[in-house]
Structure 1
Amino acid sequence: MQSTRYNGVIWMRQCVLHARRTYSVSANVTSAGNNTTGEHLPPTTPTKSLEKMRGWQLHSYGDIDELLLSDKLKIPQIRSSNECLVRVRTTAVNPIDLAMLRGYGATVLNKLRCQPGDDIEFPLTLGREFCGELVQKGMGVTSHSLKLGARVWGVVPVHASPGAHAEYVAVPSYCLAPAPKQLDDSEAASVLYAGLTAWSGLYISGGLGGPCGATTAAGGGAHKRILVLGGSGGVGTLAIQILKSQGAQVLATCSENAVEMVRCLGADFVVDYKSSDAMDELCKFAPYDIVLDCAGHGGAHASELKFDFRQYITFSSPLLANIDQQGLGLGAIKNMVDLVQTNVKSLTQRGGMVKWGFFNPAPHGIAFLEQLVRQRKLIPLIDSTFSFEEMLKAFERMKCGHLRGKIVVKL
């Protein structure tokens, strides 16, 4: 049974509901005990009778069948005074989860993940974002908004494990905030990872809002012209809404069957990326202040474009992949060479620089996204929903690609 729920202003809600009926592929699953009202529940602090939890683990890199569900995992322990323990109600599957399943970034991330003297890499629990209930917090967590029993949303740093594909997750308090009442649990678990990726690419890598945009929740970008490549995916759909909320002119590319949906998100001009004639129309709007690559083209694609731009920002950097393949030393040299060569081509042929964008769990980035949600200027799109037991199907959906929003998993 398929279902997708959106909240927002009337005009956007009508458009999104239309897009939902036309494009979404949701498997709606009822989850007993899932809190969608935004009310604070009594804290369910783990006790000795609840020392074990269910979670999906990875014992070796490979394909989706390497993921195994266990009901005997230890509940994560708070290891520092600024950490919080959350009971997960909903989580999501992101492209980074599928990449890490295959071993992406293992060389660097494992060094960051392991304790001194501990080189044990497995088992790993994936999952980068969640919505749930705060059940424990360290003595150093002094924020009055983080109360026991509060409904919260949060992210797990990329190098951290265990992740959110389990019944409990422990994260630093700066990665956590009260979940907006405007969103239900599924929607709240669909914003932060992709949203912070888009925000970081625009405001930190791209400097869209100047120093204040990168260091505060001020945003910015009015009257700028931005082209979003891959406007129908998790990062793209949120990037479009972020930019429109700040008064930017937004153009986007996507598949033909997603054009109407992307237009309903507020994009001023949308084209089918498979149509060469439609893509040629983008030349009329050049030069672009930023071309934001949310489609995974990578930096080399910048010099292949037919129009000029000032900045090309891609989230598909070779940084970790080069180190995986050639080690820390040679990999670092290869990264520098790749960046220089890519920029030489880009500057000489298109007049703009190529930059890499990364997910950044900045508290002011979370505050910025929460502000847009409260103002009903940001609505997460849900591609599909699965039960916790159907995690493998959620990964299969991610593997198929051509998503229309986020993949949600309910516990």
Structure 2
Amino acid sequence: MGIEHSSKDAGRESTTVAPAAESMRAVVQHRYGPASALEPAEVAIPTPGRGEVLVRVGAASVHPGDHFVMTGRPYVLRLVFGLRRPRRMIPGTDLAGVVTAVGTDVTTLRPGDEVFGWTGTGALAEYAVVPADHLVPVPDGLSLAEDAAVPTSGMTALQALRDIAKVSPGDRVLITGASGGVGSFAVQIAKSLGAEVTGVCSTGNAELVRSLGADHVVDYTTTDFTRGDRRYDVILDNVESHPLADVRRVLTPTGTMIPNSGHGGRWIGPLGRILRARMLSAFTRQRLKPFTSLGKRDDLLVLADLLAAGRLAPAIERTYPLDDAAEALRHVASGHARGKVVVVI
């Protein structure tokens, strides 16, 4: 590290502890495609703007959303991320690391702070520029890999169960894909909200889901939960392995179902399932509530408190070095990731 100084670049000002080099290692993508479209490269270290900080990334997690952006499918995503090629050269969203520079308008963070959060400029790199309000201090006792596993998946689970379904003590909650990224957080958050939790997963992941706090585990390789007698107040469907009509069969008459998945076609992806759910909801007392999670600093602070209190723990299946980030995304794309997949930098 160098000395502290102030820099100004095209109207961008920051107070910084200068990196030892002007370039950094990153994973870059110049075209849409499979994981083979990613390649390690040396690129310039970015400069934070007024409300931003520069983070030396210690770890970054990947999730299905990163895969969708990488491939540019469904094609509707390209309206946001670039029609012919990705606007963002470096993939990745969730990260944890150490602040090395802060913009002049940043008062909540300073160089040396350990933080975790999310960025829109790419996390799979040695350094990333992040808006200051997208970061919170890391909880004591966790590694940067554990911190990086939390933001998107944790906020999705929290917002689905607390805000959309409004889970309350005693509710019966069923979570499909309970051993996955969102599912593993959802089991724990539902328990923290006082629910009776049933997790659906494969045989090999049953013990993991029990260890996360699930009261009941359904092995989908031997049992079809939609054919059982049990009824649920809330169903968080992270898998889309059954038609909406079948899932509704085990929902209470006034229960809430959240379809947090959907593959669909190459053009609109899960939008068809989302539209069907919204239309059905108009004709039934059951609430079918697809939603899009949003990054919120207040919610990240809630998750940090749960982590600090030991009521939430990231389940990490594998870690990869930065140069193997493509393999990490391939594994996530397989649909069989067990908990979170993290790239350690």
> So what's the TM-score if we normalise by structure 2?
0.85
Q: 1:192, 1:177 → 2: CA distance?
A: 10
Q: Does 1:307 align with 2:266?
A: no
**Contact map agreement 1:58 1:122 (CA 8 A) in 2:** no
Correspondence for 2:91 among 122, 126, 144: 126
CA apart distance, 1:44: 8.0
Identify the structure with the greater strand proportion. 2
Deviation at 1:340, TM superposition (A): 5.2
Superposed CA deviations along residues 213-238 of structure 1, whole A, max 9, x for unmatched, are xxxxxxxx222221111100011011
CA contact (8 A) 2:57 2:126 kept: yes
CA distance in 2, matches of 1:207, 1:375: 22
Separation in 2, partners of 1:308, 1:393: 38
Q: Return the alpha-carbon distance in structure 1 between the equivalents of residues 47 and 166 of structure 2.
A: 38
Q: Does 1:74 align with 2:74?
A: no
Structure 1 residues 62-101: aligned runs within 5 Å: 62-71=33-42, 73-79=43-49, 81-101=50-70
Compute the RMSD of aligned alpha carbons: 2.8
1:236-290: CA deviation from partner (whole Å, max 9, x where unpaired)? 0111111111211111100111112111211111101232466533x32x1x222
Change (3 A) 1:341 1:388: closer
Query: Residue 206 in 1 paired to residue 150 in 2?
Result: no
Q: Residues of 2 paired with 1:238 and 1:97: CA distance?
A: 18
**Unpaired segments of 5 or more residues in structure 2?**
1-14
| Distance of 2:277 and 2:58 partners within structure 1 | 43
**Maintained 8 Å contact 2:277/2:289:** no
1:294 aligns with 2:238: yes
**Alignment partner of 1:173 out of 115, 120, 132:** 132
- Residues 1:228 and 2:172 aligned together: no
Structure with the bigger RCO (C-alpha within 8 Å, sep 6+) is 1
| One-letter amino acid of the structure 2 residue matched with residue 308 of structure 1 | L
Aligned-pair distance for 1:123?
Answer: 5.5
Quote the Cα distance in structure 2 between the aligned partners of 1:386 and 1:120: 26
Deviation at 1:121, TM superposition (A): 4.2
CA contact (8 A) 2:318 2:340 kept: yes
Say if 1:228 and 1:253, in contact at 8 Å, map to a contact too.
yes
2:102 to 137, 148, 153: 137
Against the structure 1 CA distance between its residues 150 and 243, is the aligned structure 2 distance closer, same or farther, given a 3 Å change threshold?
same
1:41-80 matches, cutoff 5 A: 45-47=17-19, 50-71=21-42, 73-79=43-49
Give yes or no for contact 1:94–1:407 (8 Å, CA) kept in 2.
Answer: yes
Q: Distance in 2 between the 1:339 and 1:261 partners?
A: 30
1:188-199 pair list within 5 angstroms: 188-199=147-158
User: Superposition pairs for residues 233-248 of structure 1, below 5 Å?
Assistant: 233-248=180-195
Q: 1:325 aligns with which of 239, 245, 267?
A: 267
